[in-house]
Structure 1
């Protein structure tokens, strides 16, 4: 059995989880995001702060994603 899930992972699914994690980060840290928006390079500051917490939010969003899937719900990206 292959224990390295990243080799077999769906890149679109990973992108969806990453974008979902970023959205969750922004929702949970609205106060921080609003402070970063005051800076000259707001998006870079927000992205850098997210990177510091990336693993946490990837795990949290994946847990939400899995829980919704267990309930028969799906998360999709609008195009």
Structure 2
């Protein structure tokens, strides 16, 4: 059964989740649909609660860029995704 998040499009399994989201958006996927589906997922809600606890007094941008660096994710990819979502 195809993953509904990707509208039946098969993501490149070798890519990171960040690349998959970027590919989804670049291929015309609706980010609002993606966010709604994630928020209906209990595991995603739990992850969001844990993330809020981890942020502390940092700005969301500082937190995300630090986490990306720790995971070896290119900060340019993060900023590209943020720009596509209308964030700065």
Fold-level match, TM-score > 0.5?
A: no
TM tier relative to shorter chain? 0.3 to 0.5
Q: Over alpha carbons, which structure has the higher Rg?
A: 1
RCO comparison, higher one (Cα < 8 Å, 6+): 1
Larger % of helix: which?
1
- TM-score computed with the length of structure 2 as normaliser: 0.30
Q: Please give the TM-score of this superposition, normalised by the length of structure 1.
A: 0.32
